[in-house]
Structure 1
Amino acid sequence: MDISNKYYVYVGTTHGVLQQTFCKADEQPSYFLPEQQSEITALEWGRSADEIIIGYKNEHVSLYNTNECKYTKTITKLEGEGSIVGLSPINKSIIIAKHDGVITIWSGKKSDYFSINLDEKGTLDAFLHNKNREEVVATGGECNDFKLWHVETKQCLFKAKSLGHDELNLPIPTSIRGITCLPENEKINACATKEGHVLLYDERAQRRPVVKFLEKKASYTCISTAYRERQCLVGTTRGYMQLLDLRAPGKCLKTFTTFTGSVTSIVCDPVEPLVATTSLDRFLRFHNLETKELVYKAYLKQNLTKILMKPLVKEEQGPGEENRNEEPVDEEYEDIFSKMETVTEETKRKRKTESEKGLKKKKKKVKDVQ
């Protein structure tokens, strides 16, 4: 399966460098150096088709223009402390979530913010803005169960209950590392935890998970929906990825083991069985979900943290890529050809008849002179 020039792919690194690739064979990726050397901890498409929002560990946020291939703005002095956990555009504003639980709605000249009121040991490690519900965001983290918040009212819409106690009567911990929203229903969300749980929540049904999947040996790092209904992909710290079916009771369908480092980010094509991943072994990979085939693999020289992917329209030319097949047009030269008569068989016969008549007239004049 050839995927060259099929996707926009942007990758964030631990050194703050943004890389761009079109997944061609022997391609040298483009590198866009940041204004500050800090790990990219959040990466999201912006308010327009040519904008990318980048969040860093040093609490800064940068806006990058893909057409001009340059950084256009750096946002600093945000409320709260800690690294940027999540980002998302909302109308003309940007939602920015920090590690300490402060969520800012930045709109340029003025900003609004609220805190999700974490416990002393609580952190915000996972953030998701539901694009189908503009005003709703999901949060989770260490000692911080899955919750849904309304951005305008700043009220909690849904709060998950704990998983209860284990055989030793100890609370079962749920340290959430990733959240995704299932596309078939905007009110169904899935979370992946550090302890090896994948939990499916339906806010219409109950506060406890409707489906629970547990991989005791795994510690999950990220989660993404797959192209089929009620399926998701989860990455682990041990260097493998799983395709899960979240229809009750939940089961693992496939395991991908071509990684040699922790899987850091997953993005799946919504239509085709293709999934893109980054990992700490510095490779960008594309897998076929049906066959488990490794379709594409590229070494990008730095530890990779986040990935963005978007299908590239066939007629559209990728940003930063030159159209080498196109030659300059001489308008005057083209105009001459456009005014020239099109030669057909009928035109040839007509010209032949006219030339024969002219020859006969010439012969007649010669005879008359004699």
Structure 2
Amino acid sequence: MADRSRLCTVWLGSETGILKGVSVTRKQAFNFCNTSHLSRDQEVRALCWGDPAESEVLVGSVDGTVKTFSTEKGQFTDSRRCGGPADGGFTGLALCGAALVTCGECGTLRVWREDSSEPALELSAGNNVCRMRQSPVHRDRVATGGKDNGLKIWDLQKPDAPLFTAKNLRDDWLDLRRPHWVRDLAFIPDSDKVVTCTGYHQVHVFDPSSPQRRPVLEVEYGEYPLTALSLPAGGSTVVVGNTHGQIALLDLRKGVVRGCLKGLAGGVRGLQCHPTLPVVASCGLDRFLRIHSLEDRTLLHKVYLKSRLNCVLLASRDLEDGRGAAGEGGSQEVKEEEEGGEDEVWDTMERVEEKPKRKTTEEEEEELQKKKKSKKKRKKGQD
């Protein structure tokens, strides 16, 4: 069983532009923003750590700005323009040394130096990019993919051409082209492989070290588009979520479903597994943060956060009390909801019993019998 005491802070980005910090151990939620200027133009699309010590969170907004939030001071300390609305929302943020790597939906991949307002590197990863991820081992390598835009792996030190470009799937049994739509991806630890999930409920594993550019493993889950994935520690399984709130744990060696996580009521937008603990955090359209155990698939925590959530980032240490301000939104106590909470609501409601129907008296029954007899006589007379 996962040790709940080691589950500390979870950072989330919302559609309304609020950065939310949830202290699981203290059962508190913090809103970091100016609530008088909330706008969908400030919608948070991507989160990543600004340093290995987790003292800074980089927040990518849909308007092309990247804000730096200090977890120690409890406030935003910097903001820089890394694109515009025409680029679409951020599909990924990463830190490569002192440089910031950004990618938008338009497919423009940029590298920004710390002391420059102009990108040091700019390349095109193709149109309709849905996700950009950085390799946890080779920090100068990133992967991109999107709608009708297959998996590509880039070396930022050699940006002239991608290191790997996935080949389109084989035609179906009618010799028709199979469409491809990468929604999320991740580098598998201790290997060169990359796992992707698609908008056509498929999970693919690519191996750039092999001569085959098509998937070396293909698994289908459910019948709805997959939107997010994350790899637990070990790399032999992957957690995927879809647009109908279904989350499953798939085996990447045998290509089978190992189990499902229940409780969600809306599309999944963000998933992240803890780097050491067997737990996964999820968020999405139903406005809940949920933390499930990957050992017995039980729901450990469930917190309602009022806003639709786009992305989630797990921290290894807790928020510290009294350090910095939480913005105008302030902090609030959060009440975790357990399974069966809806049943408790129904139990507390006043019961309304249906009144029994009025029984007919003997006189009324006699009148009914007379009417039936008269109808029978009329029918006989007509015959």
For the 8 Å contact 2:100–2:114, the answer to whether it is kept is no
**1:309-367 deviation digits (Å, cap 9, x = unpaired):** 0222xxxxx334259xxxxxxxxxxxxxxxxxxxxxxxxxxxxxxxxxxxxxxxxxxxx
Amino acid at match of 1:68: K
For the 8 Å contact 2:66–2:82, the answer to whether it is kept is no
Counterpart CA distance in 1 for 2:135 and 2:262 is 30
For the 8 Å contact 1:279–1:303, the answer to whether it is kept is yes
For the 8 Å contact 1:5–1:22, the answer to whether it is kept is no
After TM superposition, give the deviation of residue 263 of structure 1 in Å. Answer: 1.0
Match of 2:239 among 228, 233, 237: 233
For the 8 Å contact 2:23–2:319, the answer to whether it is kept is no
Q: What residue in structure 1 maps to residue 120 of structure 2?
A: 112
Structure-2 change in CA distance of 1:193 and 1:257 (3 Å): same
Counterpart CA distance in 2 for 1:223 and 1:126 is 11
Higher relative contact order (CA 8 A, sep 6+): 2
Kindly report which structure 2 residues correspond to 1:267-286, keeping only aligned pairs within 5 A, or say none. Answer: 267-286=272-291
Amino acid at match of 2:92: G
Match of 2:88 among 82, 96, 102: 82
After TM superposition, give the deviation of residue 48 of structure 1 in Å. Answer: 4.8
Counterpart CA distance in 1 for 2:152 and 2:235 is 23
Between stretches 8-17 and 30-39, larger displacement belongs to: 30-39
Counterpart CA distance in 2 for 1:36 and 1:322 is 25
Number of aligned residue pairs: give it.
Answer: 312
Match of 1:94 among 94, 100, 104: 100
Counterpart CA distance in 2 for 1:239 and 1:153 is 39
RMSD, aligned CA: 1.9
What's the TM-score, normalizing by structure 1? 0.80
After TM superposition, give the deviation of residue 241 of structure 1 in Å. Answer: 0.2
Tell me if 1:44 matches 2:11: no
Amino acid at match of 1:8: T
Amino acid at match of 1:179: L
Counterpart CA distance in 1 for 2:266 and 2:110 is 33
**1:205-256 deviation digits (Å, cap 9, x = unpaired):** 12111110012512100110012332110011011101000114x1111011
Counterpart CA distance in 1 for 2:72 and 2:12 is 16
Kindly report which structure 2 residues correspond to 1:29-178, keeping only aligned pairs within 5 A, or say none. Answer: 29-33=29-33, 37=39, 38-49=42-53, 50-76=55-81, 78=83, 81-110=87-116, 111-118=119-126, 122-154=127-159, 155-178=161-184
Counterpart CA distance in 1 for 2:3 and 2:137 is 32
Q: What residue in structure 2 maps to residue 6 of structure 1?
A: 7
After TM superposition, give the deviation of residue 288 of structure 1 in Å. Answer: 1.0
Counterpart CA distance in 1 for 2:140 and 2:6 is 35
For the 8 Å contact 1:47–1:90, the answer to whether it is kept is no
**1:253-302 deviation digits (Å, cap 9, x = unpaired):** 10112100011111112322211111211111111112111111111111
Counterpart CA distance in 2 for 1:132 and 1:228 is 14
Counterpart CA distance in 2 for 1:96 and 1:159 is 20
Tell me if 1:300 matches 2:290: no
For the 8 Å contact 1:13–1:306, the answer to whether it is kept is yes
Structure-2 change in CA distance of 1:216 and 1:2 (3 Å): closer
What's the TM-score, normalizing by structure 2? 0.77
For the 8 Å contact 1:97–1:103, the answer to whether it is kept is yes
After TM superposition, give the deviation of residue 28 of structure 1 in Å. Answer: 3.4
